[in-house]
Amino acid sequence: MRARAALGVPLLLSALAACHSVPNKAPRLERSSYGCMAAVVKQKLPPNLPDKQAHCQASGLIARYCSPVEAYMAGAGKEFRDALGFGDPEWADWQADRVGVNCAYHSESDEALAACCKLNEHGVSRPER
pLDDT beneath 50: ranges in the chain: 1, 13, 16-18, 123-127
Give the per-residue pLDDT at 101.
95
Alpha-carbon distances of 93 from 23, 25, 50, 78, rounded to whole Å:
24, 24, 11, 9
Q: Where are the alpha helices (DSSP H) in the chain?
A: 2-17, 33-43, 51-65, 68-81, 91-106, 110-121
Give the per-residue pLDDT at 7.
56
Instruction: List, in order, residues 6 or more apart from 71 with CB less than 8 Å away.
Output: 18, 59, 60, 62, 63, 97, 100, 101, 104
Q: Which amino acid is at 129?
A: R
Domain ranges of the chain: 2-121
Give the per-residue pLDDT at 2.
53
98 vs 117: CA distance, rounded Å: 10
pTM given for the model? 0.77
Give the per-residue pLDDT at 18.
45
pLDDT in tens, 4-25: 555 555 555 455 444 557 777 8
